[in-house]
Amino acid sequence: MSTIALNLKNVLQRIDAATAGAGRPAHSVQLLAVSKTVSADVVREAFAAGQRAFGENYVQEALDKIAALADVRESLQWHFIGPLQSNKTRLVAEQFDWVHSVDRLKTAERLSAQRPAHCAPLQVCLQVNISGEASKSGAAVSDAAQLAHRIAALPRLRLRGLMAIPEPHDDPTLQRKPFRALRELWEQLRAEGLALDTLSMGMSADLEAAIAEGATLVRIGTAIFGARA
């Protein structure tokens, strides 16, 4: 078995163990393989090992890989998870299936207007700055509810849920706190009538804490592809 296939198997086992440990149904957490900085050949190796959903942070790098894997495009899901500048929204609206990093109404409006008519609606998450760090992207918690309702009303987007990248901690108790806060916000929005089914939270170092707090999708790079340069 290749290293990538072995790593994928190990990550899926971690996800299964955390899901069972949290008393949640099997297969209720999706694995997004974060392939930023990884070559198209390595993505293809992960595809051969059964992985279908890939996350990318940089538009041009992602477009090159999407083109290199065009022969299997129908089997793949491409998720954009990086900071999104206004001048790059068109390419993302045209080429991706999902965007996790929507954090402003203007970006959402552009993505909706630019999503081609022949494509399914673009699946999006609202990114929330759950740790409240000044340096981090994501909508402020205090703006999130109003923003979510406005994004959900856009015609060519489908708001699926919330995403966050909390401040890293080694202590599992501290890891869980922001994940719990995101889940509570998500539950509040669902109670307000938004049909959300996705909580995009948890990375290589904290996926167990995220799953314990209700993550439905974890974004994993290092544990599958190794440390980035």
Ligand X SMILES: *Cc1c(COP(=O)(O)O)cnc(C)c1O
Q: Which residues bind ligand X (CB under 6 A)?
A: 34, 36, 57, 81, 165, 203-205, 219-223
Nearer to ligand X, 63 or 207 (CB): 207
Shortest Cβ 32–ligand X spacing (Å):
8
Buried b (16+ CB within 10 A) or exposed e, 186-208: beebeeeebebebbbbbbbebbb
Query: Is there a contact between 29 and 215 (Cβ–Cβ < 8 Å)?
Result: yes
Nearer to ligand X, 30 or 57 (CB): 57
Residue 164: name the closest of 224, 208, 225, 218 by CA: 218
Shortest Cβ 7–ligand X spacing (Å):
11
Nearer to ligand X, 37 or 114 (CB): 37
Name the residue whose CB lies closest to ligand X.
Answer: 221
Nearer to ligand X, 89 or 156 (CB): 89
Nearer to ligand X, 13 or 222 (CB): 222
| CA dist., res. 206 & res. 225, Å (int) | 16
Instruction: Give me the amino acid identity at 65.
Output: K
Shortest Cβ 102–ligand X spacing (Å):
13
Question: What element of type H or E holds 218?
Answer: strand 217-220
Residues 6+ apart with CB under 8 A from 25: 19
Shortest Cβ 227–ligand X spacing (Å):
8
Residue 123: name the closest of 85, 80, 87, 82 by CA: 80
Shortest Cβ 150–ligand X spacing (Å):
23
Segments in the chain forming alpha helices (H):
3-21, 40-48, 59-68, 89-95, 105-114, 141-152, 172-191, 207-212, 222-225
Shortest Cβ 168–ligand X spacing (Å):
9
Nearer to ligand X, 182 or 223 (CB): 223
